[in-house]
Amino acid sequence: MAGSRSNNHWESALQVGGGFVLLLTAIKLLEYFRHISLARYGILPRTPAGLAGILFSPLLHGSFAHLAANSMPLLILLTLLYADPHYRPTPTLATIWLASGFGTWLIGRGHSVHIGASSLIFGLVAYLAATGLWVRSWRSVLVAVVVLAGFGGIFWGVLPQAGPVSWEGHLSGAAAGFWAARKNHR
């Protein structure tokens, strides 16, 4: 019976991760076929209009390549998050989403619109890794090790850099994930 319950958690978690990636794909396809850009709903730092981007920016991507780069990490990380109810997945994702968006709104380069789900990716990596430190269950430690082995190299992306990549979103996402882990598992 316990094995069946565990499989159900993994199936449900995979459906959540896959459903989110499908939603992002549907939004990008809508833009493509309607010949529109929804990027204006991204984060425009320190502007009243840019506040809406806190909610919408993770749903928007500049290109199909941008979406593709975020899809597999999101699928894996969301599945890991939702597979274990001890992670408090929905409140955790909401915290990372909102805190990373607000952080980007505060520190982002003002001449750019910040879009993409990479802030969530950085937040989820930081959350899953930090939770392994505080919870210290064999499962959370194993997930932390796997996540750091698979995604730990992304943390170079939090360093300031020129170009179109929102290192501010990456930094804000990582900080939000760490904060969410600390808040949830003190």
User: For the residues of the chain, what is the DSSP string, one character each?
Assistant: -HHHHHHHHHHHHHHHHHHHHHHHHHHHHHHHHHT---GGGSB-TTSTGGGGHHHHGGG--SSHHHHHHHHHHHHHHHHHHHH-GGG-HHHHHHHHHHHHHHHHHHHS-TTS-B-STHHHHHHHHHHHHHHHHHH--HHHHHHHHHHHHHHGGGGGGGS--SSSS-HHHHHHHHHHHHHHHHHH--
pLDDT tens readout for residues 109-153? 988 999 999 999 999 999 999 999 888 789 999 999 999 999 988
Domains of the chain, each with CATH number or no CATH: 2-184 (1.20.1540.10)
pLDDT digits (tens, 9 = 90+) for 69-120: 999 999 999 999 999 999 999 999 999 999 999 999 999 998 899 999 999 9
Residue-level pLDDT at 123: 98
Q: What is the mean pLDDT of residues 146-162?
A: 88
pLDDT of residue 2: 53
Lowest-confidence region among 1-5, 38-42, 43-47, 85-89: 1-5
Q: Each residue of 8-37: pLDDT tens digit?
A: 889 999 999 999 999 999 999 999 999 999
